[in-house]
Structure 1
Amino acid sequence: MIIPRPLAKGDSIGVTAPSFGVTDPTDIARFANARRRLEDRGYRVVETPDVYSCFDDEGRSAPAEQRVEELQSLMSDGGTSYIVSAKGGDYQFEMLPLMDWDLVERNPKWVQGYSDNTTLLFKITAEHDIATVYGGNFGDYGMEPWHRSVSECLEVIEGTRRSQASFPYHEGGFSDRVTGLEGLNEEVPTVWGGEGSFTGRLIGGCMDVLEWFHAKGTADPSPFVESYSDEGIVWYMETYDMDDSRVVRMLEGMASDGWFDGVTGFVFGRPLFYSGRDYAETVRETLDQFDVPVITDADVGHKAPRMTFVNGAVARFDVSGGKASLNYL
C-alpha cells in the first residue's frame, strides 16, 4: 500500500469539483473562509475552474473531460500534495473511462471527499493500491470555529495524528446556512451500536456508489482483497438514500462474490435517508455469516461530525458502551 507523504508547510492544497460545483453565495463565502484558514496555517490553496461552475441543470460542475483534466492537473503538480473535493453529487462515474490511471500511480497524493467521491477514492485504493481519505469535503474547512473533527482530519493528513475518539453528538440531517460559516448542528446524542475490538486495512465508502460498482462490475476489489485478506480487512459503509431491500441485495451479492473475504469487522455510518425495517438489525442479520463485529451509527458519512477514515491504512477499532476509538497502526 502506497501511503502519500504528509502535507507540509508551503505545500499546495488542491480543490476541484469532480461532481457538483459551488454556486450558492453561502457556499462561496464558506470556501473563502476555508482558503483563509488554510493559508493562515501555511498552505497555498489552488482551486480549479470547475469549483465555481455549474455546467447543466443536473448539477455537473463541468463536462467530464474538463473535470478529468482539472483533477489530473492537480495530480501532476509537484507542489500539490493534498486534493480535496469541493462537493459530492451524482456524475463522478462519467470520469472513470477518461482517467489516466498511470498518471495517478506515478503521482500518489492524498485525495479526500465523501459521498459520490467514493467513485474515485475506492478505485484509487482498491485497484491502484494508494491510500485515500473518506472525510469531509472542502467546505468543512470553512466553518467557524473548526469542529474537532475538522482539525483532527488535517492533523491526520499532516502526519501528526494517528488516533481519534468518537464524538458525543451528531447532526440529525441537513440544516440551512445563513452566513455560510456555520458550524455543525450537533443535536443528537451519538451512541455507536455494537461492541468489539478488531484490526484490519480500511476500505469502503458510500453504499449508493458501492452498489453501482458491484451491480455493473465497474470496480474490482479483488487485488485489494487478495493482497490484504491474510492480515484482515475492515469494511466501512454508509448510505445517502437506500431502503432495506437494496441494502440486503447489495451485501448478499458482495458476500457471494468474495468482496468480504478476510473481513475482520464491519463499520456502518448513520444513514441519511433510509426506509424499511430497522437499519442496524438489517445489516447485522445479513452479515451474520461472517461472525465478526458489525458496528452501526458510527461517525462516518453524511451526518457529521466525521472521523477521518483512511482507505488502505491499517486501523484498530475499539467499540464499547456506545463510544469508540480509532487508531492507525
Structure 2
Amino acid sequence: MITYPFLTSNPTIGITAPSSGVPQALHSMFSLSCERMKEKGFSVIPGETVWTQHKAKSASPKKRANELQAMIANENIDIIIPPWGGELLIEILEHLDFTKWTAKWVLGYSDTSVLLLTITLNTGIATAHGTNFVDLRGEYWDTTTAMWQQVLTTKKGESVVQVSSDRYQKEWQHDNPSPCVFHLTKQTAWKHTELSDVHIEGRLLGGCIDVIRHLAGTPFGDVKAFREKHIPAEPVIWYFDNCELTTADLRRSLLQLKLAGWFDNCSGILFGRSSANKPVDSYTAEDVYRDLASDLHIPVIYDIDCGHLPPQLTLINGAYASINLEKNKGTVVQYFT
C-alpha cells in the first residue's frame, strides 16, 4: 500500500537544500522565487542551508539532514521543495531517520531524485518528481509545469491526467528569463523504439539515473523489499532522466540496474529528453533504448517531458499510472490507489 500526502489550499512551503544551496550571486533569483510564490498565495519558510554553498554542497551532511528532518516534522510546513538539485545529496541518507518520517510532499528533480526515490522505497510514502523551486519564479507557469499543484492536491482514491507539452526548452538562458522562466521553442515529440503507438500500466518509480543508480545495492535502494511490502506482484514503470552520461555509461548503468533486479516485473521504461547522451563510437541513445527494449522485451518510450530540458510532468513515485503514446503525443493518468 502506498501512502499519499495531500496538499492543502494556501500551503506553507519549506525550502531546504539537501544537495546544493544558492550561491550569494544568485540570492536575488531565489528571493524572486519566494516573492512570486507569496504573490500566488503560498507561505514560504527558507532554511539556513538554502543561502550557503561551498565545495559542491550547501552544508555538512548532518546539517542538511537535520534541517530536512526538522521540516518533515514541522506541522506548520505542508510541502518541501528544494531550490534545485546539485551533486552530493547521497551524503545525507545515512543521517536520516525514516522511522520518524511524516507523510508530506517532497517535490523536485535532478539530485533531489535520490531523496525522492529513497523516501518512497523506505517508507512507502509517495514523492513527486517535477519542478524545482527556482523554476517557479516566473510571472506565470507554463501549462505543463503548472500541473504540479493539481497533481499534489489529488486525493487518495482519485486520479489526475497530464498530457505531453506542445514545446520544450532546448537550452537554458538564465540571464534572459521569459515570463514563464523557460524558452519553449522546440516541438515536443514523444517516441517509441518500435515507431508505433503504445500503452503501458504500472507503478511509477524513477529519477535522474546519474545519481539514483548509486542506490542499487545499498539499504536505501532495496527495490525488492519495497515491492514485496507495498506493491506485491504489481508491475513497475521506470522513468529516467539523463543529465550527463554518455551513451556507453548510460548502457552500463541500465545493465547494472537490471542485474540488481530493479527491472523485474517491469512493464515499460520512460526516458526524458536529454542534452547529454553523447554517442560513443557511433553508439547512440536510440541504440541504447533499442537494446534495452530487446533485453527486457518491454516498450521503451523516450523524449518525454521529464528532467533537465523543461517543461516536465509531475510524476509520482508509487502512483499507479496508465500511459498512452499516440502519434508522438503522450497522456499520463496517475491513480492514487
Alignment match of 2:300 (pick from 294, 301, 310): 294
1:40 matched to 2:46? The reply is no
Root-mean-square deviation over aligned CA pairs: 2.1
Task: Name 2:199's counterpart in structure 1.
Answer: 197
1:199 aligned counterpart, secondary structure: strand
Residues 251 and 287, structure 1, Cα contact 8 Å, conserved in 2: no
Query: Which residue of 119, 123, 129 maps to 2:118?
Result: 123
**1:316–1:179 Cα change, 3 Å:** closer
Q: Does 1:306 align with 2:312?
A: yes
Question: 2:49: which partner in 1?
Answer: 50
Q: Contact (CA 8 Å) 2:169, 2:182: kept in 1 or not?
A: yes
- Mean Cα displacement is larger for which, 280-289 or 200-209? 280-289
Give the match for residue 272 of structure 1: 275
Q: 1:153 aligns with which of 148, 153, 162?
A: 148
Instruction: Tell me the equivalent position of 2:170.
Output: 172
User: Which deviates more, 278-287 or 164-173?
Assistant: 278-287
Match of 1:239 in 2: 242
Q: What does residue 17 of structure 1 align with?
A: 17
1:214 to 205, 213, 216: 216
Find the counterpart in structure 2 of residue 142 from structure 1.
137
Name stretches of at least 5 consecutive residues in structure 1 with no aligned partner: none
Query: Percent of aligned positions with the same letter in both sequences?
Result: 28
Report the TM-score, using the length of structure 1 for normalisation: 0.92
Decide which moves more: 239-248 or 1-10: 1-10
Gaps of 5+ in 2: none
CA contact (8 A) 1:225 1:259 kept: no
- Does structure 2 retain, via aligned residues, the 8 Å contact 1:313–1:328? yes
Distance 1:197 1:247 in 2: 25
The CA deviation at 1:185 is 1.2
CA–CA separation in structure 2 for the residues paired with 1:193 and 1:272: 16
Decide whether aligned partners of structure 1 residues 53 and 278 sit closer, same or farther in structure 2, where only a CA change above 3 A counts. Answer: same
In the alignment of these two chains, the number of paired residues is: 324
AA at the equivalent of 1:141: L
Distance 1:218 1:34 in 2: 32
Cα distance in structure 1, aligned partners of 2:265 and 2:147: 29
> Hey, which bits of structure 1, 4+ residues long, moved more than 6 A?
none
Are 1:233 and 1:264, in contact at CA under 8 Å, matched by a contact in 2?
yes
- Shift in Å, 1:209: 1.0
How far apart are the structure 1 equivalents of 2:56 and 2:259? Answer: 35
CA contact (8 A) 2:5 2:125 kept: no
**Alignment partner of 1:274: what SS?**
coil
Helix, strand or coil: the match of 2:191? Answer: coil
Aligned-partner residue type, residue 99 of structure 1? L
Please say if 1:7 is aligned against 2:2. Answer: no
1:33–1:181: 8 Å Cα contact kept in structure 2?
no
- 1:253, distance to aligned residue in structure 2 (A): 2.3
The answer to whether the aligner puts 1:323 opposite 2:329 as a matched pair is: yes
When residues 10 and 275 of structure 1 are mapped into structure 2, their CA distance, relative to the original with a 3 A threshold, is closer
Residue pair 1:48, 1:70 contacting (<8 A) in 2 also: yes
Change (3 A) 1:67 1:129: same
Partner of 1:328, secondary structure, is: strand
Residues 107-144 of structure 1 show CA distances to partners (whole Å, capped at 9, x for unaligned) of: 11100111111211111112221100111110121022
Q: 1:8 is matched by which residue type in structure 2? A: T
Secondary structure of 2:212's aligned partner: helix
Question: TM-score, normalised to structure 2's length?
Answer: 0.90
CA deviation vs aligned residue, 1:168-188 (integer Å, no higher than 9, x gap): 111112223246966211122
Structure 2 residue 97 is matched with structure 1 residue 100: yes
